[in-house]
Amino acid sequence: MKYHIEKQDKEVVIRFEQLGDQAQAVIDAMGRCRQSAWACPSGECMKIADMETSADGDGLAVRLKPRPDAELSVAGLGECLKYQLPKDTQS
């Protein structure tokens, strides 16, 4: 699995490629990030207000919207992914 994080205005989009059968595991991991923000080493999870997902073949796009009083960091979200993604899916 590969992923790319990019900022689009105030939102951040994470595009996952070569997921195979791991799409639901990735969605679950991102949900855990939002639900258990205290466990995230970078603290970025606490800044996420909303999350939208869309499938694209063997890929997945996750759009994260920040809370009104926050700004999402690409680097911080990268740290969250290292912590939250299933260990057998990271590349």
pTM: 0.84
In this prediction, residue 53 carries a pLDDT of 92
Q: What is the 3 state secondary structure string of the chain?
A: CEEEEEEECCEEEEEEECCCCCHHHHHHHHHHHHHCHHHCCCCHHHHEEEEEEEEECCEEEEEEEECCCCCCCHHHHHHHHHHHCCHHHCC
Q: Which CATH architecture has domain 2-89?
A: 2-Layer Sandwich (3.30)
Q: Domain limits of the chain?
A: 2-89
Residue type for position 43: G
Count of CB atoms within 10 A of residue 88's CB?
8
Kindly report, residue by residue over 49-77, the tens digit of the pLDDT: 999 999 877 789 999 999 999 999 999 88
Kindly report, residue by residue over 2-54, the tens digit of the pLDDT: 899 999 999 999 999 988 788 888 888 877 777 765 566 777 888 889 999 99
86 band by pLDDT with thresholds 50, 70 and 90: low
